[in-house]
Amino acid sequence: MSNSYLTCSFLSSIFVLSLIFIFIKRKKTRYNLPPGKMGWPFIGETIGYLKPYTATTMGEFMENHIARYGTIYKSNLFGGPAIVSADAELNRFILQNDGKLFECSYPKSIGGILGKWSMLVLVGDMHREMRNISLNFMSYARLKTHFLKDMEKHTLFVLSSWKENCTFSAQDEAKKFTFNLMAKQIMSLDPGNLETEQLKKEYVCFMKGVVSAPLNLPGTAYRKALKSRNNILKFIEGKMEERVKRNQEGKKGMEENDLLNWVLKHSNLSTEQILDLILSLLFAGHETSSVAIALAIYFLPSCPQAIQQLREEHREIARSKKKAGEVELTWDDYKRMEFTHCVVNETLRLGNVVRFLHRKAIKDVHYKGYDIPCGWKVLPVISAVHLDPSNFDQPQHFNPWRWQVSSKSGNCASMSNNNFMPFGGGPRLCAGLELAKLEMAVFIHHIILKYNWDMVDVDQPIVYPFVDFPKGLPIRVQSEEEIEDEESSDEEREREDENDFGLRVCLV
């Protein structure tokens, strides 16, 4: 081979490689990406993004990024390039186009611990099938009958164990309530039973792993959680086998109406799929609403007017029930809890139990002049929208009255503001939305009638990114009857203040 031939082929290879390089570069820069920076290789800006912060704020990372780049910016998060959205319209667009332009895309570690059949990680037909089962389980008809009755029973079970002037963790108590309720509705487990308590212990360990760094190494919380996951699954499988045997023998029992029985009788799911469904519903149904209840317990004492208005509403309901000779709460009573609904909304807006969602673009998307490339992560940050002053006036204030329907127009300023999305939106809107709101209202009904409470130690909700009270929200209660006497001696003084009371909002 001559030298000139070698030189010629060398030069032409360089030429071809340069062309490929220019083509890739042009393809890469073809996009009009939002501003932002990509941070370190691989980890990008993930550490800053996940740095804990107070739940009633957007957090330093988000505030700084929005101030610098605006409400839509690019970054590198959770191991890949990402578009972060604190823009209400884009968030709605992302959620409404789930399955068309975007797809659910939670980090692999979530699938590892919740299971590959967990609804959070499923997409397509399988997701739809699991979702339908969940919606059926939490239908209005079941909420009005099975859930409401049980909810009240479990609320009273927890509240009646509270001792006056003793300090205890309100967060643990809220978890006890939501766990007991879900364990009963899903598998007919009764609170206090040895097996229920054992399952609860495994669940606590499991949860620690869900919120920890996904390091599968000896001694880590994640490794322990994987072990607890196996123990929980074995437990559920044992229950399944008992049921199958009993159903074959034609025996009917207390379990007729629970979820486990329903999926065994009416679905074609495999054992593995049923196990992951039960595990993830127990997780979704107990962690989120217990945090929401703890947040209400945290916000309310700093807003005495809200406590007073709640008390009037619930005393009125209790009075009319007594008159009618009724004992248990009914769906009509729930519908009468108008101010309670405002408190529930405001708690969810300011506390933001779920901060942001994980999606990825499955097509190139063009939005508000920016490109979102196919394959990029997309993170709609719902909490940033709830805490944005252009969406909610004085967003840091706990102001349940912002949700009140105006008697003149019949409209509610905040309600017509469809930027409120604590339960997500689109085809993956929270399946337990109505259940969660009902749980909060029933719990508030009884706690407000039965007790007055105050914080024993300074504690506040922190985003880890799961919202949690580091000290467990320590509170002390006094029974409401006693408080009533103290209140009446203060009544005169309060009446004097009444004129400048107005619609004063409460600072938290």
User: Which residues are at the interface with ligand HEM (CB under 6 A)?
Assistant: 104, 119, 131, 134, 281, 284-285, 288-289, 292, 353-354, 357, 422-424, 428, 430-432, 435-436
Give min distance, CB of 357 to ligand HEM, in A.
Answer: 4
Other Cβ atoms within 10 Å of 486 Cβ, number: 11
Task: Tell me whether residue 8 is annotated as binding.
Answer: no
Provide the 8-state DSSP code for 421.
-
The residue (of 275 and 430) whose beta carbon lies closer to ligand HEM is 430
Tokens of 506: 């409460």
The residue (of 133 and 221) whose beta carbon lies closer to ligand HEM is 133
Cα-based angle 142, 433, 147 (whole degrees, multiple of 5): 25
Closest residue to ligand HEM, based on beta-carbon distance = 432
Quick one: which H or E segment has residue 53?
strand 53-54
C-beta separation of 263 from 274 below 8 A? yes
Other Cβ atoms within 10 Å of 32 Cβ, number: 9
Please provide the DSSP assignment of 55-102 as one string.
TTS--HHHHHHHHHH-SEEEEEETTEEEEEE--HHHHHHHHHTBTTTE
Please provide the DSSP assignment of 341-398 as one string.
HHHHHHHHHHH-SS-B--EEESS-EEETTEEE-TT-EEEEBHHHHHT-TTTSSSTTSB
Give min distance, CB of 104 to ligand HEM, in A.
Answer: 6
Give min distance, CB of 123 to ligand HEM, in A.
Answer: 9
The residue (of 225 and 284) whose beta carbon lies closer to ligand HEM is 284
Contacts of residue 408, defined as CB under 8 A and 6 or more positions apart, other chains included, come to none
The residue (of 171 and 452) whose beta carbon lies closer to ligand HEM is 171
Give min distance, CB of 394 to ligand HEM, in A.
Answer: 22
The residue (of 221 and 436) whose beta carbon lies closer to ligand HEM is 436
The residue (of 70 and 99) whose beta carbon lies closer to ligand HEM is 99
Tokens of 162: 């509270």
Give min distance, CB of 58 to ligand HEM, in A.
Answer: 17
- Cα separation, 19 vs 33, in Å, equals 24
Give min distance, CB of 335 to ligand HEM, in A.
Answer: 19
The residue (of 137 and 451) whose beta carbon lies closer to ligand HEM is 137
Give min distance, CB of 141 to ligand HEM, in A.
Answer: 16
Tokens of 507: 């600072």
Q: What are the C-alpha distances in Å from 402 to residues 84, 294, 405, 474?
A: 28, 21, 8, 29
State the burial class of residue 5 (Cβ atoms within 10 Å of its Cβ: 0-12, 13-18, 19+): exposed
Summarize the annotated binding site for heme as residue ranges.
430
Binding residues, as ranges, are 430
